[in-house]
Amino acid sequence: MRKKVTVVGAGNVGATAAQRLAEKGVADVVLVDIVEGMPQGKALDLMEAAPVEKHDFKILGSNSYDPSENSDVVIITAGIARKPGMSRDDLIKTNMNIVANVTREIASRSPQATLIIVSNPLDAMCHVAYKVSGFDRKKVVGMAGILDTARYRCFLAMELGVSVENIQALVLGGHGDTMVPLPRFTTVTGIPVTEFIAPARLEEIIDRTRNGGAEIVSLLKTGSAYYAPASSAVEMAESILYDRKKLLPCAAMLDGEYGIKGLFIGVPVKLGEGGIEQIVELKLLPEEDAALKNSAAAVQKLVDFLAQEGL
């Protein structure tokens, strides 16, 4: 029996995720959006591409959540996108209400699903979905570290003129300016990256990684990144749906791990059919631990704001 994924939000990220899911042969897709005709039109366009792309996976567009019933995984991308000069934190109040409403609709129809949150500010929106759904913390996971790590790997591969597949890296922390790339765990086919790049230049690449989303926003002028975010969410969905047990950096609700409790923070997790099946605790150096705690403090401010708003 084929797997079923619902993607909520038929904007650029959601539609691209639907495309990747079908064309990679991951799952049938239900694409949901409140804008009348948009999910139906994008779904039909993608289905008309199926004969060319040579797949038989179904993509259904809908303004109702009813077709999403009994989804195995739900990817939530709904919310307003960042505009030039807007931080992720500026989005919080509007997107909090959107994600809360979406989660209520989804949880009532697919109580066994794993929720993958993409909406920004990511760590706060994970908290919203977790609270509203009432799901176990293993079943709510945020797409953050995979995207941040992908950007880091991309920039390193560009710098060194090597395949992106040669770069292994890890980015922890909140999804934003306080993310924590770890040069100590960054290698080029197992060789420490510090053998190739001077510390000052490596710090410049890390800084570009931290501002990767803002760089794309400034270039596009009227939108934000969507190809890489969609690919990152689909990698997570595939690992969950097919019990791949990939070890990936994702936003997980911590309950004492890394000395942090009650916050969604980007850490290495094992993703399988049970959702988050393991949180891997690394032995961090004092400066790495301090950076992670600083990132957690930034997330805490967002959670405190959510509490003030009644969540």
Question: How many CB atoms neighbour CB 71 within 10 A?
Answer: 25
Give dist(CA 113, CA 111) in Å, integer.
Answer: 6
Give dist(CA 5, CA 32) in Å, integer.
Answer: 11
> Is residue 168 classed as helix, strand or coil in its secondary structure?
strand
* 264 exposure class (CB count in 10 Å sphere: 0-12, 13-18, 19+): buried
Helices (H), the chain: 12-23, 38-53, 92-109, 122-133, 145-160, 199-210, 212-220, 227-241, 286-308
Give dist(CA 145, CA 100) in Å, integer.
Answer: 23
Strand pairing class (59-62; 28-32): parallel
Strand pairing class (191-192; 187-188): antiparallel
Closest CA to 39 of 60, 22, 58, 19: 60
68 and 44 Cβ atoms separated by less than 8 Å? no
Rg (CA), the chain: 19
**Per-position DSSP letters for 66-107, written without gaps between them:** GGGTT-SEEEE--SPPP-TT--GGGGHHHHHHHHHHHHHHHH
CA atoms within 13 A of residue 108's CA, in its CB half-sphere? 9
175 flagged as catalytic: yes
Q: Which of 175, 181, 265, 276 is catalytic?
A: 175
Residues classed as catalytic: 175
